[in-house]
Structure 1
């Protein structure tokens, strides 16, 4: 159901001047609609058509039927007779807002209820512009509806000729307050102070002006305030003494009347008011101010306006300072995090430098030791060769020289055999001789032929000679093997400790791996080493850096096997070295162990400096092994990848045959 209470004319001077018709909607039940509609129509008869509808759906239908209308205002009612939650104010306004025309309109709530808890969403969305209690004083509703409509037109249709006509008809600018206080709040601070002083002088007579230089204290912190000063010209700042020194808390927000707040609260001054420029002020004692306010009540509005303006500026400044403080705290926190990260990286760099220094020191020591051992070891190896040759000549002169020379040569050149092969040879001798002890003596002397063993067993003199010569041959063999081993270790140590310089061309990657394995033999004695070497071209690289790389990776693989070496699926620790050439310009090295594997959650972090999977126990170096390994590989222009699962952890290094870029400096 709907009704039109008033139809205003909106025709222009010609057909081309027709203006969009204005319509004010009243959404109300029938008992209230008549009285509300008639009063609103009295206030808007020269502005808009006033239309009543039952509910929000009808309002939407009304604007849909007349899309040319402009709706500046919607009035909705709420009666205590039907406060049901299904018809809440939020719901009704939300229904209106489904139409764009109504979504732009101002909303007035007319209610006879003392309390509303059904319009929080409307307030939150800024869709409630006024609340009017009904029934109210006669004419209030008409006046308010007209004022809201004029305000809406001024905001949304400022060039509409009807807007200008309405402003002129009302006799004052739109939104200009009628009360003295609100009107004064619209003025500039100095204008309000001037009006206040003019009113005071009407009561007290002309007041002397005081001209004070910059630095003069107008009020003193901690001292009772018994007067105010009206600042006519110049600037005043408020300072506060603290343990951190004097703080300037307010400058632009001081206000034109200094001391008013302390005087009003009858408290000692919290600030020191200090002139920062030359100032012109009027001094008013408490008694003078009280007299002026008592005689001229209109001065109260000016005094309130001055106080409100000063407080508003001060509060706004305090809010700005709080925002700035929050922003500065945010910046400070970000910089603190950056500083913390920088310190962490600095600590990592320091640890890396310590590691580098350790490696450098070890390298220098290794180079020195290798140099000192090189000549003695070479002399020992040559002496071993000479001793063997001399012994052969001595044995040849023995009456049984042929037998002695044969036994000596056989034992000296005897190849290593497996334990199973040795047990089988001893059993054959035991069967032939029938004496386990004698069989062991002959086997130790290098005799394995049963017929020859029977002949020697029958000749005790020859047996003693064979045992003695076999012992000499075994000793010479051990001396040669040990000397050669020492020579190989010295060679590997010299290669490992080679001074860093320009990249070396023609490097055999397998030789570097073998050097590293020899130097780490003491760590790997209980580990099965599997080699699967492919055909690799010589590469250009820093050999010492790569041998450090192999050392770090082999140490990690050995540690991954655990102290008991029972982590593998076969119950035995195993490390495999696999090499191949994926293409003509690259070589690839895989180092694989059958340990327990690495937790997938921490796998991405294993290349971070100081990261360890050993429950905080860094057994080798400083926990920088994989970090340094990655740096060496990166500096060579290669890649390093790590994959892990229980029973198989694989590190794959791919290096370019051409070597690192010429301008790349490897820092480990």
Structure 2
């Protein structure tokens, strides 16, 4: 049975012979506030983000409708038949609907009576969602207060670190050779990180070529430095590269902490993000760098197309990739995995949208958790089977959908999970060139 035929069967089961079906494209609105509506919808596949004014008169997301939920309840049964929410598709959405305007007059009373149990169930689920969102809003406002206090402390720490970084750098580089200064500068600069497989291969070549120890050759390969020329002090070069990298990582960590606190404060204050054109591959690499310590020992492979760009807040997008990678890293720590841990990250264009897929070879996602993996109460704990106060994937979904994108999760064969994000292209112009491997972000 084809999918449209299956949808018609489900629609007829709920709504009877008057049922019809409809499909929405990603970002398409089902209805807007104040728009006339005489249809009662049943979500068959996909998700609808519903926005409106809360009790304080603030416009925000109020709830999300998923498979099995009813849409248009207020306007279908109320007077006048006018929508009280904006409902927008988060990805492709399939719906069944019943149109009051075309139901024969003699059948309207019996149709309304048959729909009462469905409506009661739908309103109960909606109330539960709104209660959860109110709880999350309270958490956000509490976090905003904490962020404000911590920002003052962080400002002092950042000023002290900036001074210390400058003084240490000046003292360290006094009288050093040009190649050592260059190595230090390379460590300070943003740079891709080879995958574990690439490090192992080059380390073997370096050890054989220069007679280095396995440990030293591996450190040099991880740094990605070119082979030293005869007479150059490889020991100092590597040490100063690692010092530069450590200083850069510390500076980045402080900046990231500031960003997280700003986001916590903005979440409570509802500030607007700083939108710009962002290179997706560069953002993914930055996001992976934020959780590099969690990916230690994981073979990370990144394959990306060039010039895939989206419009969004760069720091928010970096955090999305960090949250997805953190979820994978947690799963890859599960005991008893049959293979060495691997994470494959792919950036390309599909269906006219930028696409990022993170695929790990961990235990996969429990079928009980999979439908709710992006809900606030689901954590990314090892094995991905626990419930709690996890926010990472939920916040990732909030960011992605805010920019008109979609996010999904699935299990892969023989074992593992894949998280996929799609975002509208900044400059839609068809499919890009084929992807090519690049260095990963962790070893």
Which structure has more relative contact order (CA 8 Å, sep 6+)? It is 2
TM-score normalized by the length of structure 2: 0.49
Say which one has the larger Rg: 1
TM-score, length-normalised on structure 1?
A: 0.34
